[in-house]
Amino acid sequence: MRHIPNLKDLTSSELTSILAKATEIKANKEDFRHHLDGESMAMIFQKTSTRTRVSFEVAMTELGGHGIYIDWATSNFVLSGIEHETEYLSRNVSSIMARLLYHADLQKIISGSQVPVINGCCEIFHPCQALTDVLTMRENFEGDIKSAHLVYVGVQNNVSNSLVILCDKLGINLTLATPNVDDNGESCDAYVQQTIESSSYVRHTTDAKAAVQTADFVYTDTWIDMQYFNDPNHEDEKRAKLELMMPYQINAALVKDLNCKIMHDMPIHDGFEITPDMVRDPRAVIFQQAENRLHAQKGLLWWVYEQART
Ligand code: CP
């Protein structure tokens, strides 16, 4: 049985096989209609979600299984130990996916679980998003994806951390174009920092304009952590962050005349990390990327259940 807290423990061959299976299932959906017949996944949410919830639930349904939405706040996770509630769950379901505020709580779920656990995004990692992103790049790049250049423009966070891990393992060129003073606070991870410093495939720059000149893909994500975006207590921090980040906005000036695809993992904050015209630009693959959450999830579920069944 293998858990997916992040992508660190997966080999490049395992990651490639998950992506290949995602592509295969996307092209041959009916062939996999009964692959997870009778299986149930508990989907635990401490934070808001549109894509993660919908894609996992639809993926389970289309593979023949069932996804059960569990809202943390209205479940007895709020009353009891995480390990106890998880151990109970894992006697009734065959997999668990959790979107949590803190990775430490995901580790508690993993320690209490007798079934595979998938990280549906925490403050440090968003492995399912990174798999989706590379799946989308493969669909939009002629030739070997290893010769593509992905430029992530914005703040270092759970999404960029997962891209760092995945691109390093797959040998994809990734440039992080983020401010030097971008202290990535709660999303900081020693393994990721070490990879940025030592990988032949990953580099950091503060110069977004220079970095995008050789980009095949220009990618951005929200500048403000989702749980803080509408929080009045974070207004001052939000204002300072927006001022710092404006040179990193994806707008017509930044990508003028460039032959690159534009990516965003959604939800979008129009006029902040990206302007509305760039969301609808012919180069944007944002909605294809969002749709691909479903297909990447299927590839990952296929792999996780293969591990559990052998
Ligand atoms: N990209 C992403 O994880 O979307 P949701 O927050 O809507 O799940």
Where do the structural domains in the chain lie, given as residue ranges?
12-125+293-308, 141-284
Does the domain made of 12-125+293-308 have the CATH classification 3.40.50.1370?
yes
Ligand 1 mean position to 310 CA, how many Å? 31
pLDDT of amino acid 176: 98
Distance CA 78, CA 253 (A): 48
With a Cβ cut-off of 6 Å, ligand 1 is lined by 49-52, 121, 129, 265-267
Kindly report the pTM of this predicted structure.
Answer: 0.96
Distance CA 307, CA 100 (A): 24
pLDDT of amino acid 185: 81
Which one-letter amino acid corresponds to residue 223? W
Q: Are 6 and 125 in contact (CB under 8 A)?
A: yes
**Quick one: tokens of 231?**
């929080």
Which residue has its alpha carbon closest to ligand 1 atom 4? 51
Which CATH entry fits the domain spanning 141-284: 3.40.50.1370, 3.30.930.10, 3.40.50.720, 3.90.1200.10? 3.40.50.1370
Which residue has its alpha carbon closest to ligand 1 atom 7? 50
Strand order of the β-sheet with 117-119 is: 66-71, 40-45, 95-99, 117-119
168: left (phi over 0), alpha (psi -120 to 50) or beta: alpha
Phi, psi of 268 (to 5 degrees): -90, 140
**Quick one: tokens of 283?**
């180069």
Q: Looking up tokens 């779920």, which residue turns up?
A: 109
Distance CA 166, CA 243 (A): 30
User: What are the distances in angstroms from CA 179 to CA 44, 85, 155, 183?
Assistant: 34, 41, 7, 9
Distance CA 224, CA 241 (A): 8
12-125+293-308 and 141-284 have identical folds: yes
**Quick one: tokens of 211?**
């970095």
**Quick one: tokens of 35?**
């692959």
pLDDT of amino acid 227: 66
pLDDT of amino acid 182: 57
Strands (DSSP E) found in the chain:
40-45, 66-71, 95-99, 117-119, 149-153, 173-177, 202-205, 217-220, 261-264
Residues in the chain: 310
Ligand 1 mean position to 229 CA, how many Å? 14
pLDDT of amino acid 233: 83
Which residue has its alpha carbon closest to ligand 1 atom 2? 51
pLDDT of amino acid 306: 97
Strands (DSSP E) found in 127-264:
149-153, 173-177, 202-205, 217-220, 261-264
pLDDT of amino acid 224: 81
pLDDT of amino acid 236: 84
Radius of gyration of the chain (CA): 19
Task: Please report the atom of ligand 1 found closest to the CA of residue 47.
Answer: 6
User: 43: closest CA among 76, 3, 71?
Assistant: 71
How many other CB atoms are there within 10 angstroms of residue 11's CB atom? 9
pLDDT of amino acid 181: 64
**Quick one: tokens of 39?**
């299986």
Q: What is the mean pLDDT of each run of 10 residues along the chain (310 residues)?
A: 97 98 98 98 97 98 98 97 97 98 98 98 97 98 97 96 98 96 79 97 97 98 78 82 92 98 97 97 98 98 96
Ligand 1 mean position to 293 CA, how many Å? 9
Strands (DSSP E) found in 168-303:
173-177, 202-205, 217-220, 261-264
Task: Please report the atom of ligand 1 found closest to the CA of residue 126.
Answer: 3
Which residue has its alpha carbon closest to ligand 1 atom 6? 49
Distance CA 161, CA 189 (A): 8
The string of DSSP codes covering 65-95 is -EEEEEEGGGSGGGTS-HHHHHHHHHHH-SE
